[in-house]
Structure 1
Amino acid sequence: MSWLGKMIGGTIGFALGGPIGAVAGAAFGHAFVDKKEDAYLRSIPGSTGSLSSNEEAQLIFFTAAFSMLAKLCKADGQVSEKEIQVVEAFMTQDLQLDATGQESAKNIFRQAIRSSESFEAFAMQFYSVFRTQPNIISLMMDVLFRVGAADGRLSDAEDATLRSAARIFNVSDVAFNRLKSKYIRSADKYYAVLKCDETSSNEEIKKQYRKLVTEYHPDKIEAKGLPEEFIKFANDKFAEIQEAYDQIRKKRGF
């Protein structure tokens, strides 16, 4: 993540406001500078002075993701060990962050826990950037559910937080319930992955499968400018879609 070095070094020349900017600035130990200071920053040896549009999107995704996860974990008043384990698995297995990346993610998580900003504030800023990328929104909802259901259930506070995310992200009730069933009710897991249900026809399932395979193809995710580590996450999602389709196809015999 090329942007991470710039953040750690403090040699960036752009203004990132809102709760995401506040948490990122605190996590990386410095305040964001105004664009007018670009000329000065560019004079620093080895500094580019600014983030590219893709790097800025990556920073926002990275900061918002771990900030929202922190607020979700805290929703019921305490952060459980199981929740921490799932968040760390997201860091290491899905995003495959190296030691520096993991420590940065943990710093963001800790700062968000202490932040007075609400989950909704982070979610709205996240959505303002990624609202035209429904696959990214869907993946974020998936991770939120995974952490929320770390102990096999959702508390009332966690359920309310996830429903709030769904409202902000414009996720339908049908899509919300299908995703919820993936983590809370294993019987519907494969249908939930394909965003359909047992009443869907074979043709509807095939159509939905083709749609998802196209949306979550790793090459397409990579083209969106997200961190390289996120490609592993996309690969896992791609494999999950394939497995779900294969299981349903075998069960139905088509």
Structure 2
Amino acid sequence: MGWMGKLVGGTIGFAFGGPLGAIFGAAFGHAFDTGAELDAAAGSRQRLSTVEHHQLTFFVAAFSMLAKLAQADGRVKKEEVDSIQAFMENDLRLDGESRNAAVNIFRTALNAPGTFDDFAGQFYGQFHHQPQMLELMIDILLRVAVSDGRMTRGEEMLILSAVKTFNFNTLRYEQLKSQYVPTADKAYAVLGCSPNDSDDQVKRCYRRRVQEYHPDKIAAKGLPDEFTRFAHDKFREIQDAWEQIKDSRGIK
């Protein structure tokens, strides 16, 4: 049973603190157990595994940060809410329970005192040793920001603050961003390389990306099951980019 099942069943005996913990507690009315309380509840509640804890953190952080992203320009517009709902339905294909949880977190975060930077900082504290997870979060923020047709200055300023908090490579950020902007170099951006790189360099980039972003490997690092489709889509983008570059260069 994953963290979502334990949440629905009311059997979570431990979650997490900080600003994301406050969102989780407010969204679900969950009383966190610690210390002696956790020991006393051990017979009736299940403690989250490390992977489940990571999954819960990723899930709550994603929809909390998206809520603050939607508020980047002072008010939440219908187009922005629609784009996030489309992300839930089309990119993640959340089931009923997961979608209700995501909407609950999103709405709670809209009215919470915690800031985008607060959420990003706690997320980085959890995943600073897993660069793929940091990149996936930046990718999600970019994808949703441009899904309503354009990315506003306020939205990009917030995303850039996450880039800074995550100690994320700015060149890699520009490459990710270019995936959502029409450009002849999009395939190279997906692989994290340049049209000026040699065939051998491009091959190395492709192999590294395949190894880093295989969905099974990402899932083992704590990606929630609800985000598995997103990881599969990203993996398929890597394969498609490689085929496009391979054909254009005549690489065998």
Indicate whether the TM-score tops 0.5. yes
Residues 53-105 of structure 1: CA distance to partner in whole angstroms, max 9, x if unpaired?
11111111110011111111111123333433332233234433210110000
- State how far apart, in whole Å, the 2-side matches of 1:225 and 1:30 are: 22
Question: TM-score normalized by structure 2?
Answer: 0.92
Aligned residues of 2:98 and 2:226 also touching (Cα < 8 A): no
Matching residue of 1:232: 229
TM superposition shift of 1:250: 1.7
Kindly tell me the number of residue pairs found equivalent between the two proteins.
Answer: 251
State the partner residue of 1:102.
Answer: 99
Name the Cα RMSD after superposition: 1.9
What is the distance in 2 between the residues matched to 1:145 and 1:105? 18
How far is 1:9 from its partner? 4.4
Whether 2:176 is the aligned partner of 1:175: answer: no
Could you say which residue in structure 1 is the equivalent of 2:205?
Answer: 208
Output the CA distance in 2 between the equivalents of 1:31 and 1:229.
24
Q: Does 1:114 align with 2:111?
A: yes
C-alpha spacing 1:57/1:124, structure 2 compared with 1 (3 Å): same
- 1:233-248 matches, cutoff 5 A: 233-248=230-245
SS in 2 for 1:144: helix
For residues 138-168 of structure 1, what are the alpha-carbon distances to aligned partners after superposition, in whole Å with 9 as ceiling and x for unaligned? Answer: 1111110011112332211111111101111
Q: 1:62, 1:15 → 2: CA distance?
A: 13
Q: Which moved more, 1:123-132 or 1:217-226?
A: 217-226
CA contact (8 A) 2:67 2:107 kept: yes
Residue 164 (1) aligns with residue 161 (2):
yes
Q: Which moved more, 1:10-19 or 1:105-114?
A: 10-19
Aligned counterpart, 2:13 = 13
Q: Distance in 1 between matches of 2:3 and 2:27?
A: 14
In structure 1, the residue corresponding to 2:180 is in which secondary structure? helix
Residue 62 of structure 2 is aligned to residue 68 of structure 1: no
The one-letter amino acid paired with 2:164 is R
The one-letter code of the counterpart of 1:40 is: A
Match of 1:138 among 132, 135, 139: 135
Q: Does 1:26 align with 2:37?
A: no
In 2, the alpha carbon distance for the partners of 1:13 and 1:35 equals 11
Gap runs ≥5 in structure 2? none
Q: Work out the CA distance in 1 between the residues paired with 2:101 and 2:226.
A: 14
- Partner amino acid for 2:25? G
Distance 2:20 2:53 in 1: 12
Do the aligned partners of 1:13 and 1:35 also contact (CA within 8 Å) in 2? Answer: no
Q: Cα gap change, 1:91/1:55 in structure 2, threshold over 3 Å: closer, same or farther?
A: same
Between the aligned partners of 2:78 and 2:250, the Cα distance in structure 1 is 42
Distance 1:182 1:23 in 2: 31
Identity, in percent, stands at: 50
Decide whether the 8 Å contact of 1:73 with 1:147 is kept in 2: no
- Which ranges of structure 1 fall in alignment gaps of 5 or more residues? none
What residue identity is the alignment partner of 1:42? A
Write the mapping of 1:211-222 to structure 2, written as runs, cut at 5 A.
211-222=208-219
1:28 deviates by: 0.9
- Provide, for residues 106-165 of structure 1, a one-character-per-residue CA deviation record: whole Å limited to 9, x for no partner: 000011111111111100100111111111111111110011112332211111111101
User: Does the 8 Å CA contact 1:94/1:232 hold for their aligned counterparts?
Assistant: yes
- Give the alignment of 1:181-200 within 5 angstroms: 181-200=178-197
Deviation at 1:40, TM superposition (A): 2.9
Residue-by-residue CA offset, 1:152-206 (whole Å, 9 max, x unaligned): 3221111111110111111122111111111123433212111122222222211
